[in-house]
Amino acid sequence: RKLLTGKGLCPAHTAPPCPGAGSPKVAIVLSGCGVYDGSEIHESSAVLVHLSREGAQFYAPDVEQMHVVDHVKGQPTQEKRNVLVESARIARGNIKDLATLNVKELDALIIPGGFGVAKNLSTWATQGKNCTVSKVVEDTLKAFHAAKKPIGMCCISPVLAAKIFPGCEVTVGQDKECEKWPYAKTAEAMKELGCKYMNKHVDEIHVDVKNKLVTTSAFMCNAPVHEVYDGIGKMIKEVLKLA
């Protein structure tokens, strides 16, 4: 059984990260596993690598995915999958139901991108600026905001902030569509929600000091993974500084 599941094979592989003394405790909220129907795996990994010397805990909502996408064909299938169960693949099993998150025990929040943000954490994929945000996700964001604890968001996830925090300052990259910026129209929808939009390149971040909100474009840009990794690293560094 251990060989089949991996559980118990090497305790170090399933133990939670051990933060150093006085290190910020950071929540990472996932939305599944895979760019087209969950969290973007490279972005999620980059977040964890940049936090590995600090201390992080994965969370995800215990809900059914909007749908499951065949990542070879790029088409939806008839499968049903659970967001928490799928997110556990990225977290190596060390993950908690988002409903159990206690903001008093944490210092910061990070939400990587991927279409799961727009499909499983909200209805942005189908309703754009008229979307609704999952109650548990909205409650989590508002709790960190009310506690004046920093929030880092990359790729598509800043749309959640644009929807929940009117007037906030955000970026998802450039607002002029081209081969390098295929999702630039997202910026226009965010502007219509009343946020202050900031044009940034993939290796840049924007810091909304008032709202303690740090955003970067990640794979909203058609960029190589090392550039995305560097941009996320800057986001994490600033979030930790604000924490």
Q: Which of 217, 213, 238, 240 is nearest to 228 (CA)?
A: 217
Instruction: Catalogue the long-range contacts made by 143-146 (C-beta closer than 8 Å, 24 or more residues apart).
Output: 143/103, 144/103, 144/106, 144/108, 144/109, 145/211, 145/212
**CB neighbour class for 136 (10 Å; exposed up to 12, middle 13-18, buried from 19):** buried
* Known active-site residue 155: yes
- Annotated catalytic residue: which of 155, 168, 195, 221? 155
For residue 54, give the 3-state DSSP assignment.
Answer: coil
Instruction: Give bridge partners of residue 51 from the DSSP assignment.
Output: none
Task: Report the number of secondary-structure helices (H) and strands (E) in the chain.
Answer: 10, 11
Distance CA 6, CA 96 (A): 19
Distances (CA, A) of 21 to 24, 127, 217, 236, 240: 9, 44, 32, 19, 14
Distances (CA, A) of 111 to 20, 22, 40, 218: 22, 23, 10, 12
Active site residues: 155
